[in-house]
Amino acid sequence: MTRDAQCRAVTHAGTRCTRKAATAGFCSLHFPKPKRATLLERAKTAGQVVTTATGVITLIQKAVELWQSLPFGPGPEMPDAYEYLVGEFGPFYPSMPRSYTPGTYGANSVNWSEALDLYQFAKQHVGSEPEGEDRQRQTAEMISVLAERFVDGLPIGFRLMLFNQIGEEPGEGGEDA
């Protein structure tokens, strides 16, 4: 067998493998196999989905609680999506936010339908993780993108109060105009 046709791998004994080269100069036994993700790496990827989804649920809960704490007087007539979210999070006894940014907040100044869709999507992924690492990464990224879109759509004053309530400085998680 010519040297070019021989497997180029070195055995544990320190000698060159005597098998015939098949692909890229290696026999089928020594051909490098793609590295499989370790259990820890797979768990980390799966954990991303759960962590991201749980964070989004908390964000929406804080938005609902903040809305309930705003001084509206009798309050505006709220959409069904908002009422559903209030029912999901249970009773909340509002107190004034740590800081208040005056604004004109109507019932539709927050897209409660989008908040409800995001909440349900996140809730679905807290309990069941998608199959495969790529799918899990995509799901975590999708939840993040949808959450950013929701936050970016909030009135600036409300967004600032929400950031203050969850302990995030404006600019850390999104741009402020």
> What is the secondary structure of 163-174 as a DSSP string?
HHHHT--TTTSS
Task: Tell whether 81 and 99 lie within a shared domain.
Answer: yes
Query: Do the Cβ atoms of 94 and 69 come closer than 8 Å?
Result: yes
Per-residue pLDDT of the chain (177 residues; tens, 9 = 90+): 555 689 888 888 889 999 998 877 888 888 877 656 566 666 666 677 788 888 999 999 999 988 888 876 556 688 999 999 999 987 677 666 666 667 778 888 899 999 999 999 998 887 766 567 777 778 888 899 999 999 999 999 899 889 888 875 544 444 443
Task: Tell whether 144 and 92 lie within a shared domain.
Answer: yes
Query: Over the Cα atoms of the chain, what is R_g?
Result: 27
Task: Tell whether 9 and 53 lie within a shared domain.
Answer: no
Q: Which tokens is 105 given?
A: 């907040």
Task: Tell whether 25 and 66 lie within a shared domain.
Answer: no
Task: Tell whether 59 and 27 lie within a shared domain.
Answer: no
What type of residue sits at position 29? L
Task: Count the Cβ atoms, other than its own, within 10 Å of residue 85.
Answer: 21
Q: Is 16 strand, coil or helix?
A: strand
Task: Tell whether 140 and 78 lie within a shared domain.
Answer: yes
